[in-house]
Structure 1
């Protein structure tokens, strides 16, 4: 055995047992080890929230057999997933209200000319981009569900206020709305990762994220279409009614979210005491727990120096340039480019919603059989790029509409990487940081997207369509590179001497020591 490997093993002695006394002083250094990369790592008492619960219940008879595990999973799903899906449905519907309003008189009433409408889409993501680091920090420092609920109520109020009489006020409100909505995805990733095993995360993330499709169906086919049909019955313009309805629905859900969703599994009102203990046990295999309230500079630095972080960022940027354009100009393309009437343009978006909700959920479900979420994401992204080509290069209007509809499968890659961050990025500060960087890429992409729709090219917007295809291809390449990086790292870790992993495994409750994925030799990346 090499001298380096011998030193590695020596640093794991003595085998540790965490105690409640250890946790009183978060600056207490219990031991120093070498990570798989050879870097010194201090194991301190500044651990995960789940550690205290694990220590308090040590020695109890905990039986987590497969039947109990399945029953507990069903219970968590029943109480948690409906409200998470409904929240994401409404938040996407809130984004799309801008697109619906565009063909219901918004541009005319607010005297928008040239690229003024494009900036209503970009303004949202300017606010999102600016506030994302702050919202990520708030969600780490304060109770995650309660903090998110406050943001939800506030953005619902701001959405109602969109019924303003001038363009400057509308732009200001879009910016504030983006800042407030920057909390929702980070919050749901943290909540999902703390309740579910790593192999369960992809499907659950897909279910709540693909509920964007339900938002499209409800927003376009139920709310907007019916408001347009009955617009003569209202005392204010139809586009204002849409903002008020969606805003009220969102604030009402925010209040429900505050009382229904627990901040951590050990506070879940719908679980009894024994079930709370079992939730802690069932996520041990994730090699991470519920979170840590302290900001750790070493984890922040590791996130910034990890090449995978920046590949994830590049994927978000590349995939969301098309998304930003289509989200804000989808209704306009249907109405002005493909020639559908206003009513038809609203109804013709419903199939897109169905494709997203059903298609993305089915793709994620296939991970139960294929056993590789990255492979599924790559296949889904290939189909998306083909759909983008149909929209951009076909001269047949029906083929263009088919491309626009199939593009709704595009989020499968984004969903995959959200689940990857939840299960493959360990260390709570590092996870929050990578989440924030990922969503910054999402913001920048969505900010750029509307600007590629040049007013001078209306109604075909050929530059925007070519841009959509180009960046779709870039996103596919990034996804493949991320997959390769995780695979290569797992191969390296599998070659570690068994003495190293065996000694580390003997450190009691090491899963909840708030170590990063690079520091923990037992950590393996889910592919």
Structure 2
């Protein structure tokens, strides 16, 4: 009967005044309390299998810390100073690694490896096949083992693999591209986990934008400082310039891997640059996230929730649609500039420098606007995506080479949508297994889009590649519509939660350190989505 159900829910929630103790931590059979989630109507048991942040909070429960606005600003600045440069540098280098294939394509790679037909297209797709296959295993490894140390090992290995690109014939080159994709599949989920554990929800978008848009710096350095220099002085080298491209970028990556290993902490609790009081203040700062540092145990119910959540698949659909253009332009950008738009090889490499600058500055400015002007990150993501689609249309439908070049450069702001949804996963997906699963699905979709992208460049249509250009514009328009749908779903869910009054929410708020119970966004009655 309705009345009995209401009574049972209330009686269950009366026990919510219970608290976690240090003895409960790590013991899944220790049920602290039980609530009925008002959003799923399912029973939710709070056990000792909680977030790692709770262990730290309980160990320091006797300490009295006060987070004033001034201390908060100083702490945020200190975290930024120690984390953001290395995260940005890592992303800069990994994108140089991806673009090395594009640079090599106009420096003699295709000739020396006797590539014909769609053989070069498969060098781009092979990378994302490896990425696709290994994304779930990589995400699981990052959950189970210390995230920064695990990532640093991946970085060092992919740097070695990249240097080996200079040695094989075509079959071996394809194999190495596949392995490279497997190893690089770890970088985005790891950076996202690290960022989410140090920053509040509202701070994440700008930080993710800074390190992700450092791809633009990688473009400027790779095309200008490395590839262009190799072309200018190619007669001075004893080996082919395309081989030097892989050797130089690979060696730089190995160096950054070792720096990352010793510099970046796995969680705020073992951050070498924070004292004990500052570590406690970080924990206090991130309480508002209703999330903590992470949980190393795989939870099947969270996995299922991620798989059956419509928001997961809307986010994945955006990753797929927006990265078909990305996969094509990343691998064929140099070829379009030199063979379609008619620039010489040195000129074509230099023309990529303004594109890199637009990506870094444009994406960062839009994220800054979302943090300090109109605080709606999905709105600014849509603004950036519309600008990118205008550029895609210039590239696809104009016959004026200058307008096509402008379109190519404008397209560089397109990653802001992808960046926004990365930050959305960090902010809006709670429960560590659910977050890792959603992130993996998002990046698998990213891989599928990037894998398809190069295949739209048909050899028989060279050098104009009309089909590919139309696909770029069409999927760009589609991605705008998906962003709008995601915005609506989050807005509607928040509105429904605000209207719903429940004993569960009131009682849940009474549990000490409830923010670190490793509940999903659907299980937690106090959770609200960032727009």
TM-score band, normalised by the shorter chain?
A: over 0.9
Q: 1:500 offset after TM fit, Å?
A: 3.7
Structure 1 counterpart SS, 2:13: coil
2:105 to 98, 102, 106: 102
Q: Is the 8 A contact 1:425 1:516 kept in 2?
A: yes
Unaligned runs of 5+ in 1: none
State the partner residue of 2:13. 12
Q: 1:295 to 1:71 in 2, by over 3 A?
A: same
The corresponding residue for 1:30 is 32
CA distances 1:181-218 after superposition (whole Å, capped 9, x unpaired)? 00000000000000000000000000000000000000
Q: Give the equivalent residue in structure 1 for 2:316.
A: 313
Partners of 2:121 and 2:483 lie apart in 1 by 29
2:207 is paired with a residue whose SS is helix
Residue 520 (1) aligns with residue 524 (2): yes
| TM-score, length basis structure 1 | 0.99
Return the TM-score normalized by structure 2.
0.98
Residue matched to 2:184: 181
1:155–1:180 CA contact under 8 A, matched in 2 = yes
Partner of 2:505: 501
The counterpart of 2:378, out of the listed 371, 374, 380, is 374
Deviates more, 1:370-379 or 1:20-29: 20-29
Partner residue in 2 for 1:354: 357
Aligned to 2:477: 473
CA RMSD of aligned residues (A): 1.1
Q: Provide the secondary structure at the position in 2 that maps to 1:43.
A: strand
Partner of 1:156: 159
Matches within 5 A, 1:87-486: 87-367=90-370, 368-486=372-490
Task: Check the 8 A contact 1:127/1:179 in 2, yes or no.
Answer: yes
- 1:198–1:526 contact (8 Å) kept in structure 2: yes
How big is each residue's C-alpha offset from its partner over 1:135-188, in whole Å with a ceiling of 9 and x where there is no partner? 000000000000000000000000000002411111010000000000000000
Contact 2:35-2:504 at 8 Å conserved across structures: no
Contact 2:51 2:516 in 1 (8 A): yes
Q: Distance in 1 between matches of 2:186 and 2:448?
A: 16
CA contact (8 A) 2:319 2:442 kept: yes
Rounded Cα–Cα distance in structure 1 between residues aligned with 2:28 and 2:187: 30
Tell me, in whole angstroms, the C-alpha distance in 2 between the residues paired with 1:204 and 1:9. 41
Shift of 1:389: 0.7
CA–CA distance in structure 1, aligned partners of residues 219 and 364 of structure 2: 15
Question: How far apart, in 2, do the equivalents of 1:2 and 1:462 lie?
Answer: 65
Residues 123 and 175 of structure 1 are in contact (CA less than 8 Å); yes or no, is this contact kept in structure 2? yes
Relative to structure 2, which stretch is displaced further, 242-251 or 377-386? 377-386
**1:505 deviation in Å?**
0.5
Q: What is the aligned partner in structure 2 of residue 488 from structure 1?
A: 492
Are residues 30 and 106 of structure 1, via their aligned partners in 2, closer, same or farther at CA, if it must alter by over 3 Å?
Answer: same
Where 2:205 maps in the other structure, the secondary structure is helix
User: What CA deviation, in whole Å up to 9, does each residue of 1:90-119 have, x standing for no partner?
Assistant: 000100000000000000000001100000
Cα distance in 2 between the residues matched to 1:302 and 1:500: 20
Report if aligned partners of 1:149, 1:254 keep a CA contact under 8 Å in 2. Answer: yes
Residues 464, 5 of structure 1: CA spacing in aligned structure 2 closer, same or farther, 3 A cutoff? farther
1:64 corresponds in structure 2 to 67
Task: Give CA deviations for 1:247-306 in whole Å, capped at 9, x if unaligned.
Answer: 000000000000000000010000001001111110000000000000000000000000
Structure 2: give runs of 5+ residues left out of the alignment.
Answer: none
Q: Distance in 1 between matches of 2:345 and 2:499?
A: 61
Structure 1 residue 58 displacement after superposition = 1.3
Equivalent-residue separation in structure 1 for 2:261 and 2:484 (angstroms): 39
| Contact 1:9–1:503 (CA under 8 A) maintained in structure 2 | no
Q: Is the 8 A contact 2:121 2:457 kept in 1?
A: yes
Match of 1:74 in 2: 77
Moved more, 205-214 or 25-34: 25-34
- Whole-angstrom CA distance in 2 between matches of 1:45 and 1:108: 61
Alpha-carbon distance between aligned partners in 2 of 1:262 and 1:464, rounded to the nearest angstrom: 43
Which deviations, in whole Å up to 9, do the C-alpha atoms of 1:403-460 show, x marking residues without a partner? Answer: 0000000000000000000010000000000000000000000000000000000000
Assess if the C-alpha contact under 8 Å between 1:322 and 1:472 holds in 2: yes
**In structure 2, C-alpha distance between the alignment counterparts of 1:24 and 1:473, rounded to whole Å:** 48
SS at match of 2:166: coil
Distance across 2 between alignment mates of 1:499 and 1:69: 33
Aligned residues: 527
Per-residue CA deviations over 1:449-481 (Å, capped at 9, x if unaligned) read 000000000000000000111111111111111
User: Does structure 1 retain, via aligned residues, the 8 Å contact 2:26–2:50?
Assistant: no
In the alignment, the residues of structure 1 paired with residue 26 and residue 300 of structure 2 have an alpha-carbon distance, to the nearest angstrom, of 21
